[in-house]
Chains A and B, each alone.
Chain A
Amino acid sequence: MSKIHVTTTVNGDEVEFLADPRETLLDCLRDKLGMTGSKEGCGTGDCGACSVTLDGTLVCSCLVLGVEADGKQVGTIEGVAEGGVLHPLQKKFIEHAALQCGFCTPGILVAAKALLEQNPNPTETEVRYWLAGNLCRCTGYDKIVRAVMDAAADLRGEAA
C-alpha cells in the first residue's frame, strides 16, 4: 500500500514521516518516531493508555489515523516535563504513589493535564469522571485523584 507523507508538530517540534494509511497515530508515534511513552492497552478506545492531545483536544491515539495528524499539534507524555523539569502533575503522582506498574500512567497524566488546562479548579467528582476513560488495573483510582487535586492546587498557587 502506498505511503502518505505526514508533516506534523509533536510537543512543539516539527516532524515528518511516511505513514501507511491504515496506521494509527499511536503506532506512528511509537514505531516511526520512537516515542514509546504512549501505550496501547486495548486499541479500541476503551482504556485511555494511548491518550494524547490533538490541537489541544484529548483523544485516544489508537482511534486516530497517523495521516489525520497532518498539519496538527500533537501533545504526548514526552512533552509533559519541560526542559527536564517535571510538571506538577508528575511530581504529585510520584509523591502520592498514584502509579504502580506505570503502564496507564502516561495516558492518565496527559488526560489530567488536558483537564487542568480547561478547568484549573475541578471538583473531586469532575476529576473522577474526566478520568473515567483511563483504566488502571493496578489500581490507583484513589491516589490518582488525590494527586490530580493536589497538583491542581499547586498550579493555582495554593497550598493543598
Chain B
Amino acid sequence: MPDTVQPIRFGSNSGQPVSRRDGIAKVTGAATFSADNSPANLLHAVYLPATIARGRVTHFDTAAAQAHPGVTHVITPANRPDVQGDPEAKPTLFSFRVEILQDDSVRYAGQPIALVLGETLEAATEGARLLAPQYAAEPVATDLDDGAPFDIEPGGFGRPQGMVHGDIDAGHAAARQAIDVTYETPAQYHNAMETHAIVAEWDGDRLTLDVPSQALNMSCAAYAYFFGIPAENVTVRSPYLGGGFGSKAIPIGPNILAILAARMTGRPVKLMLTRQQMFGPTGHRPATRQRLRMGIDATGALTALDHESLSASSRFDDFFEPASNASQGLYAAGALRSVHKGVRLDIGTPGPMRAPGEASGAAALECAMDEMAHAAGMDPLEFRLRNYAETEPGTGKPFSSKALRDCYLQGAERFGWDGRPLDPGQMRDEAGLLVGWGMGTALFPCPMFAAEARATLRPDGTALVETSAADMGQGAWTSLAQIAADSLGLPLDKVAFNAGHSSLPDGGVAGGSGHTATAGTALHEAGCDVIRQLGEIAATDPASPLHGAGNARFVARDGHLFIEGDDSRSEPFTDILARAGGAALTGSGKGVRPPEVGQEFAMSSHGAVFAEVRIDPELCQMRVTRLVGAFAAGRIINPKLAESQLMGGMIWGTSFALHEKVTHDRTTGRIVNADLAGYHVPVNADVLGLEVITVHEDDLHVNVLGVKGVGEIGIVGTVGAIGNAIWHATGKRIRRFPIRIEDLLTA
C-alpha cells in the first residue's frame, strides 16, 4: 500500500518518539500512587483472607482482636453495617459479584472474611491474625478435571460466543492429513507491581477515592451503586497506576469494604492488598484445556480448523477465558468451528488479563499449526502463508487493513528464518546447546469503548485538553497529548494535558488495547471542534485575512489558521481570539465507532513473532536467546512508547511459555505459591535478544486516527513461537504451559 494515504491531515506531533511526559515524576519518586496518600486522621484497614476454599466460618475470636492495642474496629458478617447495593448484582459493565462480608460463607481461598481497622498498619495486621477463624470446610474442586464440563450460554462479557462457518464434518472428512491435539494453559494472576490499594474519605454523602483505575468514571458509578449515592458524588483520583493488565478496571470487594469502613468510622481509611492477597479477590486468567482438530488437503490448505476450549469460572459468577476465539479470525480454513465449554470450581471469579482469550488461545493454536505444518512437511511460515486469510474467515468481510504478510516477511528477514531445517534437533551452538527456532502469528481485535474529551484554546495561544484517562504505564498522557496537539495545530509543549481525575470528561476504559484509539478520537474531535469555531470567527471577521473564506476548510498548523490549499492566507490563533474579545474557546468531542463500520469491516492488529531457544541437552535448562516480533497495528502515535508496550507484551509471552502458573493444593483449595517467590515471572536476566519491528499500516476505516492498539498483541504470538522453538530444538512437543525443565526431562 502506498504510504501517502492520509485519511486526515496530521501535524508534526503524531508519529514522533516523544519521551514520556510523566517521566520526571516517575524517575524522581514524586509520582504519587494510590497508597502514597496518607490524609490526616487515617485508619488502616486489613482484611482477613479465608484459608479454606469452600464452606462457612463458624467462629472468630473477635474479643482477642478487639483487645489488641491500636485496633479500633473489628468487622465480621455479624456486625457489618449495611450497604445499599446488592453484592450479587453487577452495576456496570465489567462488574463481578463481590464478597463484602454479606454472609459467613466461603466460596474460594483468599476471600475476605473479616476486616480489622487500626491506628497503625501493624495493629490492624495483628488484630486480623488474632481473629483465628474456625471453619466448617467442605470438599473442594480447583482443577479442570474436578468439574463437569458444560456448554457456555453466550451472554456478553465473560460468556463467550462460539461460531461455526461451513460444514465442519465435511471439512474433517475432506482432510488428507489431520491432527487432533490437546493443549493446557494454567491459571495466572495479573500481579501488577502496584498491589490494589485504596484511600477512601467521606465528606457527608460525597466520597473521594484515591484508587488505581483503568476506567475512572465507570468505577465511580459502581462504587456509588453500593452506597446509594449518585455517581457524581464520587470522585476517583487515579493519576498513576502501577500496572493494571485488566485487573484494575473492576471494582473489587476489598475496595468496597474500605469505603464502608470509612463511612462507618467517619475517618479516612487506607487499605492496601499484600502481595499474597493479590492471589485472591482480584480476578485472574483461568486455566484452559484446548482441543484442536485440523485437517489439510494435498496442497496444505486447511479443510477444517476446529477449536474447542474448556475453561474454569467460579461457582457463582461468569468469566470464561474466550480461548477458542483465537481461531475465529486468523486462517482461511474450508470450515471453522470454535466452541467454548466451562466448568465451575471453588476459585475466585476470573477476569480479563492481558489479551484475554487471544493469549491462551493462540498459545494452543500456534503450536497446533506448527504440528500440522510438520505433518505436512512444510515450513511453518510457508504453511501459514498457504492459509493466509485475505478476507475474514467465514464471513468474507474485508479487513479494514491487514499488513500481516509484511509482518511475516519483515520478521522472518530480521530473524534470519531462511535455511531453518524442517526437522527438529538439527541445530547446536558452539557450546553444544540445542538450538531451535519457532514462530507464531499474533492477532488482536480493535475494540473501541466510548470516551469524551474537552479542549480549550486559551487567548495566549496555548491549550488545555482534558479527559479522565489514566496512565497505567502505556503512555496515555504522552501519546494522547500528541494527538490533541495535532488536532489543535499546536506544538506539543503548548498543550497542557489534564487527566486521571473522574471530574474530567469520561476518558472511557483503558482496556482492550482500545484506549489510544478511543480517548484519542475524543481528543481529536474536541480539538477539531475548537478549530472549527475559530474558523467561523475568522471567516466572519472583516479584520481577519481569512475573512469571507466561507465554506473553505481551515487547517490549523503551528498556532496559525490557514485556508486549506492556500498557504498565502493565514492568521495566528492569538490574533483571532484577541479581536474576538480575548476569551478562551472550548470544544468537545466523543470517541465512538459508528456501528456500520463494525458491520462492514473486520478489524484486527496482526503480528508475527520468531523465537530462538537454546537448551542444555542434559539438564534441559531453557533460554530464549532471541525474540523478534513484527507488528502491524495501524498508525503508531509514539514509536518509542509503542515499542515498550510491544516488548512488554512479548516478555509476558515468555512468562506464559516458561514461567507463570499458580498451583492449588487440591485438598485445601489454597494456592500454594501465592507470592513472588513461588509465582515465577521473568527478570532482567531472562530477556535476551529482544527486537520489535512496527510494520507500516494505513487504516482508513478503523477510526479517524487510523490507530489500532498495541497493548496486548505482543503476548499473543510469542507463547506459541517459544513452544515451537523448544520442539524444534529437542523434538519434544510439550502441550502444557508453562514448559518446565521436568517436562523435557521426562518427555
Instruction: Identify the stretch in B492-500, B641-649, B718-726 within 8 Å (CB) of chain A at 4 or more residues.
Output: B641-649
Are B194 and A94 in contact, with the CB atoms below 8 A?
A: no
Across the interface, which residues of A come within 8 angstroms of B35, CB to CB? 40
**Structural contact, A101 and B193, CB atoms closer than 8 A:** yes
**Chain B 645-672: CB-based contact to A (< 8 A → 1; otherwise 0):** 1011001100000000000000000000
A43 to B121, CA, bound (A): 13
**Which residues of B lie under 8 Å from residue A81 when comparing CB positions?**
27-28
Contact in complex: A1, B27 (CB < 8 Å): no
Q: Does B534 contact A (CB under 8 A)?
A: no
Main secondary structure of the interface of A (DSSP, over half): loop
Contact present for B194 and A141 (CB under 8 Å)? no
| Nearest opposing residue in chain A for B36, CB measure | A36
Q: Are B27 and A90 in contact (CB under 8 A)?
A: yes
CB–CB B122/A20 < 8 A: yes
Q: CB < 8 Å: which of A31, A94, A141 contacts B682? A: A141
Q: Which residue of A is nearest B190, CB measured?
A: A137
Complex contact B648–A100 (CB within 8 A): yes
Complex interface: chain B residues within 8 A of A35 (CB)? 29
Looking at B289-297, B315-323, B673-681, B738-746, the stretch in contact with chain A turns out to be B673-681
Q: Given the interface contacts A41-B195, A139-B652, does A101 sit within 8 Å of B683 by beta carbon?
A: no
0/1 interface trace, chain B 481-510, chain A, CB 8 Å (1 if under): 000000000000000000000000000000
Q: Is A143 an interface residue (CB 8 A)?
A: yes
Q: Which residue of B lies closest to A108 (CB)?
A: B684
- B239-247, B306-314, B325-333 - interface stretch: B239-247
Q: Which residue of A is nearest B29, CB measured?
A: A37
Other-chain contact of B191, A125, A137, A140 (Cβ < 8 Å): A137
CB distance from B28 to the nearest CB of A (A): 5
A47 to B20 CA separation, bound complex (whole angstroms): 24
For chain B, which range describes its interface: under 10, 10 to 19, 20 to 34, or 35 or more residues? 35 or more
Tell whether, in the assembled complex, residue B29 and residue A135 are in contact, meaning their CB atoms are under 8 Å apart: no
Q: How far is the CA of A143 from the CA of B122 in the complex (A)?
A: 38
B47 lies within 8 A of chain A by Cβ = no
List chain A residues, Cβ under 8 A from B30: 37
Task: Decide if A141 touches B122 in the complex (CB within 8 Å).
Answer: no
CB of A46 within 8 Å of the partner chain: yes
* Any B CB within 8 A of the CB of A75: no
Contact of B648 with A138 in the complex, beta carbons under 8 Å: yes
Task: Write the nearest CB–CB distance from A79 to chain B, whole angstroms.
Answer: 9
Nearest B residue (CB) for A89: B27
Q: Are A138 and B681 CB-contacts (below 8 A) given A90-B27, A95-B19, A101-B192?
A: no
Instruction: Identify the closest chain A residue to B33 (Cβ).
Output: A103
B32 lies within 8 A of A142 (CB): no
Residue of B19, B121, B242 touching A102 (CB-CB under 8 A) = B242
Q: Tell me whether A93 and B23 are in contact (CB under 8 A).
A: yes
- Residues 97-140 of A contacting B (Cβ, < 8 Å): 97, 99-106, 109, 125, 127-129, 131-140
Taking the complex as formed, is B690 at the interface, i.e. its CB lies under 8 A from any CB of chain A?
yes
B684: contacting residue among A80, A105, A132, CB under 8 A = A132
Q: How far is the CA of A26 from the CA of B41 in the complex (A)?
A: 21
Residues of A within 8 A of B683 (CB): 131-135, 141
Do the beta carbons of B193 and A136 come within 8 Å of each other? Answer: yes
Question: Is B28 touching A43 in the complex (CB atoms < 8 A)?
Answer: no
| Residue among B19, B29, B193 making CB contact with A47, cutoff 8 Å | B193
Q: Does B475 contact A (CB under 8 A)?
A: yes
Contacts of B19 in A (CB 8 A): 94-95, 97
CA distance A36 to B33 in the complex (A): 9
In the complex the two chains form, is B473's CB within 8 Å of A1's CB?
no
User: Across the interface, do B243 and A97 meet the contact criterion of CB distance under 8 Å?
Assistant: no
Query: Is A140 in contact with B648, judged by CB distance below 8 angstroms?
Result: yes
Contact A42 B687 (CB under 8 A): no
Known contacts A141-B682, A142-B690; is-contact A94 B193 (Cβ 8 Å): no
Residues on B with beta carbons closer than 8 Å to the beta carbon of A103: 33, 192-194, 240, 242-243
Contacts of A22 in B (CB 8 A): 122
State whether the Cβ of A53 lies closer than 8 Å to any Cβ in chain B.
Answer: no
Q: Does A69 contact B (CB under 8 A)?
A: no
Q: Is the CB of A97 within 8 A of B687?
A: no
Answer whether residue B153 sits at the interface, using C-beta atoms and an 8 A cutoff. Answer: no
Selected from A40, A41, A101, A141, the residue in CB contact (under 8 A) with B240 is: A101
Question: Does B26 touch A at the CB level, under 8 Å?
Answer: yes
In the complex formed, the residue of B with least CB distance to A102 is B26
In the complex, what distance in Å separates the CA atom of A145 from the CA atom of B25? 21
Q: Which residues of A contact B543 (CB under 8 A)?
A: none
Interface: B69 (CB within 8 A)? yes
Is B241 a contact of A37 with CB atoms below 8 Å? no
CB distance from B545 to the nearest CB of A (A): 41
Instruction: Contacts A44-B275, A128-B685 known; list 9 others, CB within 8 Å.
Output: A36-B33, A36-B36, A44-B676, A80-B28, A102-B473, A131-B685, A137-B681, A138-B648, A142-B690
Instruction: List B residues at the A interface (Cβ < 8 Å).
Output: 19-20, 22-33, 35-36, 38, 69, 120-122, 191-195, 240-243, 245, 272, 274-275, 471-475, 640-641, 643-645, 647-648, 651-652, 675-677, 681-687, 690
Question: 5 smallest A-B Cβ distances: which pairs?
Answer: A37-B29, A103-B242, A101-B473, A102-B26, A100-B473
- Write the residues of chain A forming the contact surface with B, with a CB cutoff of 8 angstroms: 1, 20, 22-23, 27, 30-31, 34-44, 46-47, 49, 76-78, 80-81, 86, 90, 93-95, 97, 99-106, 109, 125, 127-129, 131-145
List 30 A-B residue pairs with CB atoms under 8 Å apart, sorted by A's residue number: A20-B120, A23-B122, A36-B33, A39-B193, A41-B275, A42-B676, A43-B275, A47-B676, A78-B28, A86-B28, A90-B27, A94-B19, A97-B640, A97-B643, A100-B645, A101-B241, A102-B27, A102-B240, A104-B193, A129-B685, A133-B683, A134-B684, A137-B193, A138-B648, A141-B651, A141-B683, A141-B686, A141-B687, A141-B690, A145-B684
